[in-house]
Chain A
């Protein structure tokens, strides 16, 4: 069971505290959406999950073991941009991970092994609706198609955890809801654990099973960096009321204003 635990995790840069007293346990198959104002450590949280950053205090455990300190095959990622390789066709983008896995030295497959991997990749591409675009380069795809490709590329590796960093932030609303359906569909079918960062509170509220809100509990006007953000709300999605949604929205909007005011006052 892919269980992720944050035990009193802090992240500091010098005397700048980004995250403090983070305690969280996420079970297998949960779909967590993470929201919060900018500067509230969402991205740092994600980078720690990826292994790009390590906590300065506390521990992150994956199934009871410390999380590896660099990115790996067990955690897939889709970024808002630059998630696919521009020099590879759609098919080769998806094939790449399979080739890396089975050919450590040449990173290329030949013959039967390649045909098998190819079949698997095409199956995955069909699932995201890109079965007709196998030989196109990403630059010839629309933004939504590129994100579909990025999903397929990650998911073909069968990661246990899928990290989504504002994956639909740059897409048009209509396309975005198509993508929501696709992600939910894949999540259910593959039984993944998903973390999705979004700046769109509504997206966070209605997608997934659990909402994590990052915010600063304390703001020192003299030293805006003295206190870090933490998880201020941890809610099951679906059992929430309209009023709570509005409260959270106001909070999330208030923090940057308070910070800006603090900076103004200090300056």
Chain B
């Protein structure tokens, strides 16, 4: 008998094994839901799939009675806009400062301690201050995401810039490059794919901050809806929203991955990921 660590599942077994936990979860949910509903047909905690379906239909296909909007799409649009703005601004700030700090020692000496300190502040602790300074509107939500994500991206890119082989920078100088030209033609192009990596890594945190901000003060958004309907235990809405957010997060990650492969073929070849 081989050792356990040397036994490998075949491809199809692997897929089946991967699906198994999902099936188990589903069965546990169904059993729990049925038992609770048999006890109390109005139970809201573990709604039947039919009521989940009704809720999805109501939220995703029918205009709301009160506003006339189709809520799921309004919420999704609002959340994605905030997320996109927050992450986009963070990426831009991250690139500019990461490159500057990573390539210019004087800037690094001057700004690195500040960036390190900022990145240690738990962004949620700043919320009351953000509200007072930026108001309760869109701005403070975007700023919260930027506060939560930008320092990480700056530090990551600074690190990556410093990790670029010194030989490359010397080589560029022997080709006559100025500091600006080195940044423009050597450092930035090499950091762009790494920026996408950093953005992908920070998306989870960005979602967290987005939902936290929407839970605290908002008129729409995915996080807003979850925390609103939670007030009357409408799990039939909360559960599909959670699944939807998970799906959105997965799709954004997938899109970024594909974009990176398309735009930075050299980077993926370099990392041995093939074509």
Say if the two chains contact directly (CB < 8 Å). Answer: yes
Which A residues form the contact surface with B (CB < 8 A)?
50, 52, 70-73, 75-77, 79, 81-88, 96-97, 99-101, 104-107, 137-140, 150, 153-154, 157, 159
Could you name 19 residue pairs across A and B whose Cβ atoms are closer than 8 Å?
A: A50-B174, A70-B173, A73-B174, A77-B171, A82-B167, A82-B168, A82-B171, A83-B171, A85-B168, A96-B175, A97-B175, A105-B180, A106-B184, A107-B177, A137-B266, A137-B269, A138-B266, A139-B269, A157-B176
Complex: A81 Cα to B168 Cα, angstroms: 9
B170 touches A137 (CB 8 A): no
B190 touches A87 (CB 8 A): yes
A86 touches B173 (CB 8 A): no
Instruction: Indicate with 1 or 0, residue by residue over B43-61, a CB within 8 angstroms of chain A CB atoms.
Output: 0000000000000000000
- For the complex, is B178 an interface residue (Cβ under 8 Å from A)? yes
- For the complex, is B270 an interface residue (Cβ under 8 Å from A)? yes
Given known contacts A97-B175, A97-B176, A100-B175, is B170 in contact with A107 (CB within 8 Å)?
no
State which of B174, B181, B265 has its C-beta within 8 Å of the C-beta of A75. B174
CB contact list, B117-174 vs A, under 8 A: 165, 167-168, 170-174
State which of A87, A101, A140 has its C-beta within 8 Å of the C-beta of B267. A87
What is the chain A residue whose CB lies nearest that of B169? A71
A101 touches B176 (CB 8 A): yes
Complex: A141 Cα to B96 Cα, angstroms: 32
For B189, what are the chain A residues with a Cβ–Cβ distance below 8 Å? 87-88
What is the chain A residue whose CB lies nearest that of B190? A87
B176 touches A72 (CB 8 A): yes
For A88, what are the chain B residues with a Cβ–Cβ distance below 8 Å? 189, 266
A77 touches B269 (CB 8 A): no
For B270, what are the chain A residues with a Cβ–Cβ distance below 8 Å? 86, 137, 139
For A72, what are the chain B residues with a Cβ–Cβ distance below 8 Å? 173-174, 176
For A96, what are the chain B residues with a Cβ–Cβ distance below 8 Å? 172, 175, 185
Give the Cβ gap from B272 to chain A, nearest Cβ, in Å.
9
What is the chain B residue whose CB lies nearest that of A106? B184
Which B residues form the contact surface with A (CB < 8 A)?
165, 167-168, 170-178, 180-181, 184-186, 189-190, 264-267, 269-270
For B269, what are the chain A residues with a Cβ–Cβ distance below 8 Å? 137, 139-140
Beyond known contacts A77-B171, A86-B190: 7 more, CB 8 A cutoff: A50-B174, A73-B174, A73-B175, A83-B171, A97-B176, A100-B172, A153-B171
For A73, what are the chain B residues with a Cβ–Cβ distance below 8 Å? 174-176
For B265, what are the chain A residues with a Cβ–Cβ distance below 8 Å? 137
A76 touches B174 (CB 8 A): yes
Q: Nearest 4 A-B pairs (CB), nearest first?
A: A97-B175, A73-B176, A71-B173, A82-B165
Given known contacts A86-B270, A100-B185, A107-B185, is B175 in contact with A153 (CB within 8 Å)?
yes
State which of B174, B184, B185, B267 has its C-beta within 8 Å of the C-beta of A77. B174
What is the chain B residue whose CB lies nearest that of A150? B171
A85 touches B170 (CB 8 A): no
State which of A71, A104, A157 has its C-beta within 8 Å of the C-beta of B170. A71
Give the Cβ gap from A166 to chain B, nearest Cβ, in Å.
12
Given known contacts A81-B165, A139-B270, is B171 in contact with A104 (CB within 8 Å)?
no
State which of B165, B177, B267 has its C-beta within 8 Å of the C-beta of A100. B177
A104 touches B175 (CB 8 A): no
State which of A82, A100, A157, A159 has its C-beta within 8 Å of the C-beta of B181. A100
For B167, what are the chain A residues with a Cβ–Cβ distance below 8 Å? 79, 81-83
State which of A76, A83, A85 has its C-beta within 8 Å of the C-beta of B186. A85
For A81, what are the chain B residues with a Cβ–Cβ distance below 8 Å? 165, 167
Complex: A137 Cα to B175 Cα, angstroms: 19
Give the Cβ gap from A204 to chain B, nearest Cβ, in Å.
22
Give the Cβ gap from A196 to chain B, nearest Cβ, in Å.
15
For B168, what are the chain A residues with a Cβ–Cβ distance below 8 Å? 82, 85
Give the Cβ gap from A169 to chain B, nearest Cβ, in Å.
14
For B178, what are the chain A residues with a Cβ–Cβ distance below 8 Å? 100, 104
Complex: A25 Cα to B185 Cα, angstroms: 36
What is the chain A residue whose CB lies nearest that of B272? A139
